[in-house]
Amino acid sequence: TPECALPWSSGKRCRAPYFYEELLDDSLEVEQPEPARKPKKAKKGRANDTGGPASLARVELRPEHSPVTLEDIQRLILWILAEETKPRWCSVENKALVPRVVLLLAHGLDAEAPPPALGTLLGTPVQVRARSGVLEPGQSAHSLLTLARRAPREGPPPLRGRPPTLPAPASYALTLEQMEENGYPLPRLAEGGGGAMTVPAGYLATCAPEAGAAPPRELVALDCEMCLTAEGLELTRVVALGSGGELLLDRLVAPRNPVLDHVTRFSGITPAMLEGVTTRLEDARAELARLLGPDTLLVAHSGENDLHALKASCFGGVQMVHARVIDTALLYPHPRPPAKSALRVLASRFLKRTIQKDCHDPVEDARAALDLALLKFSRGPDFGLPASPDARRARLADALHAAGRTCTFVDVGASLRQFMGAAGAGVDASDDGEAARRLAREAGKPGVPHFLFGQLRGLHASQVAAARRAAGDARGGDCARALRLRLRRVGEGCVGGAPEAAADGLRSLQSAKATFGCLVAQRGSGLRAAAPRARCLHISAIAAEAPPPSKVHEGNGAGTRVMIIGGDGYCGWATALHLSARGYSVCIVDNLVRRTYDLQLGLDTLTPIASIHDRVRKWAEVSGKHIDLQVGDLCDFEFFSETFKSFNPEAVVHFGEQRSAPYSMIDRQHAVYTQHNNVIGTINLMYAIKEFNPDCHLVKLGTMGEYGTPNIDIEEGFLTVTHNGRTDTLPYPKQGGSFYHLSKGVVYGLRTEETTADPALINRYDYDGIFGTALNRFVVQAAVGHPLTVYGKGGQTRGYLDIRDTVRCVQIAIDKPAARGEMRVFNQFTEQFSVNDLARIVGQEGKKLGIDVEVKNIPNPRVEAEEHYYNAKCTKLRDLGLEPHLLSDNLIDSLLSFVVENKDRVRMELIKPAVDWRKSGVSDATNRAAVAPK
């Protein structure tokens, strides 16, 4: 009709058509109601004119100049069925005649070029704006089927989930009232009036550092241990950590009064530890004073105890009345205040970490408090609050159930569990064909349900698959027709039709669109006796594509969402910057355990690296690009699943598996941790992809060391084997029994284009006996005049790769993914060298700088073949466009020059072998390193 022909964009009001059983026919007859006198104004809350046989439920659309949102569709459903607030964009006359609403999400419809038949089938189109140009089907359903909790009338609405802009860490500092309530030392008004402030006896207020002194730290985590003396509790140990987890201060303190009880169970202090200790409280406080300033954020758990422990009769120039304190006991409030959660409880719950098992370790406690604070900073102020009924979004089904309405959901099982709960009936459908049949059957039932929901996913899935295969759109018409038939089947079910079953199996289209289709069907009530044909009203809404994400770089990332697990590590950090600079949307997930290893084992990187938070902030300053940072453990599925669902990555780069040797060779505990981290973390990742985004592309990194040293050529992933007359292609056997998408060789190099943009972005340079590579160790030894230590005969051969090629290889893998269900394996290296070859090359480069390099063979602490055949294949990445950097192209010269410039940071004890693979435990070299001053 002319009324229906009006486009939504005209700004005029238009009316949806009435649909009957003529859906089965190509011709559509629309009943024109006879003109009637203006009815009397109905009583408030009652429908108008619902008694006669010509009465119809009419819909008047008012989209005006702004597109309708998903919440507006939701409000329409609630208004019709639950008497909620009337939506502005739509009005329903005689809505009492509407006993049922059918909501059908048909993912993949193109708003710009919908199939012509849908205009007849669905009625007047209404533009509905998606939340983003990369919206996935599950996000559309979540927005429609869950309700934001209503905030109380008093005060602003509470934040839900992770806020778009995280507040500054300083916003978590205790208020003056909180400090007073919890017994923190505070300044007081001086006696005699005048408004002057003074501090309690034995304390000193925070003050600025003296001229010429080192600037104070921005954040310090503090923990103190005490023992019982004749005068009460006195300090016995003080520990301070920096924002990156680095150990700033660890001092044992000799009490001034006789010790009555060391309370070892709670303090970890034994009489033997205090033997010979001459450091007094004033000395420890003076050292701590150099780290603190008036603006320093002091992180502690129940920090009032730590500050009171630093009280003395003489001040020693240190500031222990501090105004900027972040107390993790209050940062994560107990569900039943004024009780406070123990640090070990918070560490177990939020960090999945066991602490204080046998006794207290102040370094361990300070790190737990620090990590809890950093976790809070990264997740927002609502994270870690006690659970409450309003902590999660409510279900639409629950709201309808509360209004006395019944609901039926036709969908796959996972979606049913997520959105239906206990408030409705669920009908499981394995594919679109089954969903269409079951929806039609449910829609044809008289009376109930009042709300029927279903999804058709096949078109979108085929679009995604087709886009990845770039196979053309010749068969797209078949897929669109299949979807149209299924839409028709559901519509026919609403009016009692019984059509032939639609064709099963969806085919492919060329490109994926972030669009969805929505059909709302309503059936007349009590009209069958008066009219031979049931009256059914349809409203359709096809989402207009939201504006695409703005390009932040002249690159080819085009906003592709990439999650990098282990993004604070050597390879992960360089990869994150490389992809971010090229327009990818990057999210780093890291538990920062690599930094913990350095502290546990007394190791240090030659390059002073900033904390991950400072790194990310500096990158934003330098490049103008944002990297999402999530600090947490991949082995914690609750944390990772929420992070995965929130970011919804299109690709995941998995650097989170740590290399086994030599770390796992230290002892059984380190071996078990390595297996737990690598196996459980990867399982969690695979389940998250399976459950939340099966189309996500996984780029998983292993090491070439997993192949071992076979006496045959190492193929890329697969090997054709003939055995007993039968031939098959099998995964190439690996030593650890594992299999990876991408196996990298030994990666070397310090600089990439991005890591050299600012000193705060520089990458790690490990040269120690546990995490350092032979090449890094040789370069450091040459720079400081130490003989190059070749383990054994030096014939051990491996593949090597420049860090600049590593990041490029990962980008290639993302840009050119495997087909759905396909697993490809790339051997990621560019050159092969033996240990003797590396020593020779470093010696040659050293001579260019005037360094006389000596080579010395030492007993091999590793269990490995020292002379062997090694020929690994590496052609696939070059075929995809990799142009490698070679070791001989002056890279050793640049590395050697850098190390020579920074050789004053080299700790000689670290360049010796630390772990003997033949023995359990750590050698004396590492034990010495753990306690040696830096």
The answer to whether 26 and 145 have CB atoms below 8 angstroms apart is no
Structure tokens at 65: 């100049």
H helical segments located in 360-475 = 362-379, 396-402, 413-419, 432-443, 458-469
Task: Confirm whether 198 is a catalytic residue.
Answer: no
The values of phi and psi at residue 666, to 5°, are -65, -50
- Pick the closest to residue 835 from 862, 814, 802 (CA basis): 862
Structure tokens at 455: 């999804």
Beta strands 726-731 and 18-19: pairing type? Answer: unpaired
Task: Confirm whether 816 is a catalytic residue.
Answer: no
The Cα–Cα gap between 853 and 788 comes to 7
The answer to whether 497 and 437 have CB atoms below 8 angstroms apart is no
- The secondary structure of the chain in percent helix, strand, coil, rounded to multiples of 5, reads 35, 20, 50
Structure tokens at 572: 């992960």
Residue type at 861 in one-letter notation: P
- Rounded alpha-carbon distances, angstroms, from residue 631 to 162, 325, 681: 13, 21, 14
Residue type at 808 in one-letter notation: R
Annotated catalytic residue within 332, 570, 707, 740: 740
Structure tokens at 858: 């030492």
Residue type at 425 in one-letter notation: A
- Degrees to nearest 5, angle at CA 674 with 672 and 680: 90
The Cα–Cα gap between 507 and 549 comes to 29
The values of phi and psi at residue 199, to 5°, are -110, 160
CA-CA-CA-CA dihedral for 437, 443, 448, 452, to nearest 10:
80
Beta strands 18-19 and 797-802: pairing type? Answer: unpaired
Burial of 381 (0-12, 13-18, 19+ CB in 10 A): middle
Burial of 530 (0-12, 13-18, 19+ CB in 10 A): exposed
Residue type at 512 in one-letter notation: A
The answer to whether 23 and 495 have CB atoms below 8 angstroms apart is yes
Task: Confirm whether 744 is a catalytic residue.
Answer: yes
Q: At what angle do helices 891-901 and 835-848 cross, to 10 degrees?
A: 70
Structure tokens at 567: 């993004």
Annotated catalytic residue within 734, 744, 876, 912: 744
Structure tokens at 921: 């435990």
Beta strands 516-523 and 536-544: pairing type? Answer: antiparallel
Annotated catalytic residue within 406, 703, 830, 926: 703
Cite the active site residues.
703, 740, 744
